[in-house]
Amino acid sequence: MKEFDLIRRYFTPTDTLGDVSLGVGDDAALLCSPPGHELAVSVDTLVRGVHFPVDTPPEAIGHKALAVNLSDLAAMGATPRWVTLALTLDGEDAAWVEAFVRGFLTLARSHEVALVGGDTTRGPLSITVQAMGVVPAGTALRRSGARAGDAVLVTGSVGDAALALRELGRGTPDPGLRARLDRPEPRVAAGQALRGLASACIDVSDGLAQDLGHILTASGVGATLETARLPLSAAFREVQGDAVDWGLPLAGGDDYELLFTAPQAAVGPLCRTLDGLGCAASVIGRIETEPGLRILDPQGNPLSLQRGGYTHFDS
């Protein structure tokens, strides 16, 4: 199939939103940003065998390619509006593309996001998505607002995706764990609910400890985390039993939960609001004046990690 036939068949949605003056099919898209808002922009590339296992179904790849970008916008408290997609394919497989697009656009429609442009080319399979959203001026969540005395919280549960990836090397992981790896759900509504209440925020993509470190560095503070308070799913506990490998929830990554800080007075209202959205949040630590991250095991003793999280260029 020729490139432009591919674009017309799979990547020209019929449900373009009202804030798109011109979408797929021209040299650039024309978008209408609402008055009084700032534009939030994020871009991520996913490569087969690096960001998703080689056996991942194409529909799940399409979902995840968009989800990880929407998670970045969620961490800023932004409302996603538009995306562009650059897709590098290693061959002609209409069934694969159709399933990929189905996963991508199903998630896009659930968040009222319009696909407004992109590119297709041939080469090793990789997907680059640029996501754009809007946030009322001056209200975006940042990494730099944490203050000593704030609580550290995380949405949902952590460690499932990392455990699924490890179990995949040993056989067939629990289906619930595998779903967390293949089809993360971006916490878009939760991110918007944090505006004006959270002091700092980041999404957990490369590992909770490492990502919290980004907040600590940007804010010029330190923190203590308590592993006993980490939210672990029933499936995670079933597989791990009593011998929990704390490196999975602390450094495994791919959770795409929101990790945030908030003044103590805001913790109760925030947790109640997030519960109402079906997205529970757990207090897992506190921000302190002394720089650095201190991690305590369930008995309250210092815990050291062999690595803090995922990095692309480890030697």
310 carries a ligand binding annotation: yes
19 carries a ligand binding annotation: no
Q: Residue 233 in 3-state DSSP?
A: coil
Cα 271 from Cα 276, distance rounded (Å):
9
71 carries a ligand binding annotation: no
118 carries a ligand binding annotation: yes
Cα 156 from Cα 258, distance rounded (Å):
8
The distance of Cα 166 from the centroid of its chain, to the nearest Å, equals: 20
Structure tokens at 175: 């289906």
110 carries a ligand binding annotation: no
314 carries a ligand binding annotation: no
213 carries a ligand binding annotation: no
Buried b (16+ CB within 10 A) or exposed e, 186-206: bbbbbbbbbbebbbbbbbbbb
Q: Are 155 and 244 within 8 A, CB to CB? A: no
Closest CA to 282 of 225, 241, 243, 239: 225
CA dihedral 218→223→226→231, nearest 10 degrees, is -20
| Residue reference for tokens 């730099």 | 144
Tally of CA atoms within 13 A in the half-sphere of 13 that contains its CB? 24
191 carries a ligand binding annotation: no
Helix (H) or strand (E) holding 263: none
15 carries a ligand binding annotation: no
Cα 124 from Cα 194, distance rounded (Å):
39
Q: Residue 164 in 3-state DSSP?
A: helix
Q: What is the DSSP letter of 181?
A: H
Q: What is the DSSP letter of 307?
A: -
Structure tokens at 35: 């008055």
27 carries a ligand binding annotation: yes
Q: What angle do CA 30, 36, 42 make, to 5 degrees?
A: 55
Structure tokens at 43: 């871009």
268 carries a ligand binding annotation: no
C-beta neighbour count of 121 within 10 angstroms: 10
- Binding site for Mg(2+), residues? 27, 42, 44, 72, 119, 203, 206
Indicate the annotated binding residues: 27, 42, 44, 51, 72, 118-119, 143, 203, 205-206, 254, 310
Q: Which residue ranges are tagged as binding site for substrate?
A: 51, 254, 310
Residue list, annotated binding site for ATP: 118-119, 143, 205
